[in-house]
Structure 1
Amino acid sequence: MNYIQTKCVVKRKGKETGESETLCFTKSKDNNNNNMCDRHCGKRYPLLSFWELPEFMKDNEYILRYYRANWPFKQALFSLFRWHNETLNVWTHLIGFLLFLGLTLANLMKPKVVNLLELFTRSFSSSAEKNVSHNIKDLFLGTTLLFDLNHQIPLTIELESTALVIARWPFFVFLGGSMFCLLSSSMCHLFCCHSRDLNLFLWRMDYVGIVVMIITSFFPQIYYVFLCEPHWQIIYLAGITAMGLFTIATMLSPTLSTSKYRTFRAMLFCSMGLFGIVPAIHACFVNWSNPRRNITLAYEIGMALSYLTGTFFYVTRIPERWKPGWFDLAGHSHQIFHALVVVGALAHYAATLQMLEWRDSFGCDTVP
């Protein structure tokens, strides 16, 4: 006869959490029997407070509640649809991944790069030679083409010089790097509660994803700006790739991936981004006559501000450090950081489209 001894103890209200919690203790001679306390004492995998976490999960002492720890893989997966302090971290980058996946598929299925953001910009900042009705017509056409992915009629591209086919691979390298970063981040925040080994592995992959996104962001801009000067392409792309590989090697270190080196990691990411100042200044001189120079620069400045502001929140842990416990579910620094990363990536996407359309119209006398 199977014997199960079950004891449920209600813990008194703690000063830290302010909530009563139920702890279940079960002794059983038969491991095949279900835990009776699971049925009578509430949820089997409750959300924990910061003080109940294993040491390897204690990263942000200003977020006090709603943690998951040592959850089975299946339970972690379905926590995608449950409120906890990682829910918005998962969804912000998961939605970003799906958005970039859609943009990638749309661009692959069209002979011309889809530029919905540019169409909106064109409708508000058109030159004097274009009237309002023409802009509305362009906007309607562009919007229709974006959502009609099964459209089979080739889109005619009118070039101001000769018919020139500019390579698209740097553009798709950027899109691929962005998707890898956003997806790896989502998976990290979703499954980091499973076990210590998986937690450490996923966090390293998250950092690697950030580095990959930074590296691939340089590819389209440097390739298209210096299309007529291939030696500068090689110099700048080799430089950022070397910095990225060094950063990846650093991120894979178990010690440097801990919360103790949070600021150091942020400095590495920022240094990679700041590397772009040199080719950016160079690009301004190379493309001084580019009619799309100002709007491209505006998008790139928007990208830089988004990334730097997000990094500021990531490092300072504002606003949760001001009011510990107030932003446990929504509004804490990592969620803000995630949202700004997606905004920055979209700004860079818009800038890349501007550069692509310019290069489609104005190539080199001798294409390398």
Structure 2
Amino acid sequence: MPGRTPGRSLRIPLVCFLVLLPLNIPWSQISVTWLGVVHFLACLSPQLGSVVYHLFMNLEGGEPVYHTLLKLDVCGICMINTLGALPIVYITLFCYPWVRTVSLLIYILLSTHAVYCAVTARSSVRRLRSFAWQALFRFSFFLLRWVGVGCGSPTSLRHFLMMDALAVLGGVINITRIPERFRPGLFDYWCNSHQIMHVLVVGSILYLHWGVLDDLLWINSYDCPSN
């Protein structure tokens, strides 16, 4: 059955993120500590949710148990969408404290609605669609950086764009069931769409980490214009 094998392989990135990520964050050089903490939790949450989901999904508890585990998995995705974007919003509006606070509150409220829509969605398509507004909100901040209105490291924007591109690609591949839809049975254990999606998600998290790390180090040497 496709999906059983990823439970084993997902433990490796979970352990790596749990142990190595805190060591890779230069805590002594970060001026806003809570951004580093939020970023660590964001990177860890989807791996933790997926491992729990795949580890217990074969329990003989029937449909209610399965849907509970699926909601835990979805919550992990929701957390990286929510917590992962907070440093991006904060640093983009670094020189506009009042606007920054309002934007963070709006994004948290928007994410709360997205979480509800995602955990109550009855199909994979609707579940993916639940994150659309979050993605558009983040993309608006990418545009602010691109036009020079928002702040941020010169190298972080390309990391964030690659992050979202890999995440969207993984979601589309998982929904369309490529490549197993063309050769049923051939990809039951290896190289099925679900496994490909998980590999792309890990890559997406790495790009998020590299981008946020660039930003967190960049704000230490950046002075906002006096006017």
TM-score, normalising length from structure 2? Answer: 0.88
CA contact (8 A) 2:117 2:130 kept: no
| Equivalent residues in 2 for 1:140-159, closer than 5 Å | none
Change (3 A) 1:213 1:265: same
Give the Cα–Cα distance (whole angstroms) in 1 for the partners of residues 57 and 117 of structure 2.
Answer: 20
SS in structure 1 at match of 2:179:
coil
CA contact (8 A) 2:57 2:69 kept: yes
Equivalent position of 1:86 in the other structure: 3
Greater strand percent: which structure? 1
CA contact (8 A) 2:119 2:127 kept: no
| Equivalent residues in 2 for 1:43-82, closer than 5 Å | 67=1
CA contact (8 A) 1:310 1:341 kept: yes
Equivalent position of 1:278 in the other structure: 140
Give the Cα–Cα distance (whole angstroms) in 2 for the partners of residues 111 and 313 of structure 1.
Answer: 40
Equivalent position of 1:319 in the other structure: 179
Change (3 A) 1:110 1:283: closer
Equivalent position of 1:158 in the other structure: none
Give ranges in structure 1 of 5+ residues lacking alignment: 1-66, 68-84, 113-164
Offset of residue 287 of structure 1: 4.8
Give ranges in structure 2 of 5+ residues lacking alignment: none
Offset of residue 100 of structure 1: 1.7
CA contact (8 A) 1:299 1:351 kept: yes
Q: Which moved more, 1:342-351 or 1:272-281?
A: 272-281
Equivalent position of 1:95 in the other structure: 12
Offset of residue 302 of structure 1: 1.2
Equivalent position of 1:187 in the other structure: 52
Give the Cα–Cα distance (whole angstroms) in 1 for the partners of residues 221 and 25 of structure 2.
Answer: 20
Give the Cα–Cα distance (whole angstroms) in 1 for the partners of residues 204 and 167 of structure 2.
Answer: 6
Change (3 A) 1:96 1:269: farther
- The root-mean-square deviation of aligned C-alpha atoms, in Å, is 2.2
Change (3 A) 1:276 1:92: farther
Equivalent position of 1:226 in the other structure: 93
Equivalent position of 1:347 in the other structure: 207
| Equivalent residues in 2 for 1:262-301, closer than 5 Å | 262-284=124-146, 285-287=148-150, 292-293=153-154, 295-301=155-161
One-letter code aligned to 1:279: F
CA contact (8 A) 1:92 1:338 kept: no
Offset of residue 335 of structure 1: 0.7
One-letter code aligned to 1:213: I
Larger radius of gyration: 1
TM-score, normalising length from structure 1? Answer: 0.56
SS in structure 2 at match of 1:306:
helix
Greater helix percent: which structure? 2
Change (3 A) 1:103 1:235: farther
Offset of residue 95 of structure 1: 2.2
Give the Cα–Cα distance (whole angstroms) in 1 for the partners of residues 130 and 185 of structure 2.
Answer: 30
- Encode CA deviations 1:315-340: one digit per residue, 9 max, x unaligned: 11100101110000011111111111
Equivalent position of 1:171 in the other structure: 36
Runs of 4 or more above 6 Å deviation: none
- Encode CA deviations 1:114-160: one digit per residue, 9 max, x unaligned: xxxxxxxxxxxxxxxxxxxxxxxxxxxxxxxxxxxxxxxxxxxxxxx
Give the Cα–Cα distance (whole angstroms) in 1 for the partners of residues 20 and 105 of structure 2.
Answer: 27
